[in-house]
A and B are shown apart, each in its own frame.
Chain A
């Protein structure tokens, strides 16, 4: 570990922290369903980042790196508490718990929850976190073409659900 973080690195970490920290907690919360645990995992992840001595190399893909490490920690945690396949039941409306009154977002989560877990995960990484297929592949360990397939299937189902809903509204 290098002894000094340059000022530029420090500013960079601060900016990253600023833009990513809460999002990472939200992401982990969806996986673990435990807010305190998620905060802990995210903080540990930041520590891991800061301690990397190849910080500069990591910069260009830091966000993806943070998500990958967070996901691994969440999975470790789930294994520990004996709830391994809880990916099959992603805790969705964190918005509810965070006292979000909008029904729209719940509606969206309801639709996403109707998908198989593996699709839920990539759909959220794609459309909520905005990652590319390649990045999602790095985060989840699926191959890129598998990510493409899962997203394709997911989005087809969601399209159907959305159209159904619009027709309902129009009635």
Chain B
């Protein structure tokens, strides 16, 4: 079990980015709080098993993401499909348009992005993790991380440009 001092310092360092990542996935304060607290609970009980202390951040994000997937799995199963089959079209979004938006609008747009892309896009904008670390957090190969991010960003920007609601595609 992590010592009290270690635990407090880990919480102080990571609770904000973890909460923001959780909020970008769940879009509700209560669910984001639950996921973040659950992550620290797992850390308190199992964190001592982590030998490489430089991996704490990746470990926490991985745990949070797994917790999110687990809760989603309980609600519904969503299909996986090969991303290479989806054409990539990156729209030209003027920077000025972004300045017109607020956080709520951007997260609302993220919720309309296909679910499989949402976590990679959130990590792309929120965190400075290397692509190798993101691959570890999402438990997918690095190439898949990159293609999910690229396609997710393209979808997000399209949604922001159009400003119209869009239903996630199930293929």
Question: Do A and B truly interact?
Answer: no
Q: Which residues does A use to contact B, with CB under 8 Å?
A: none
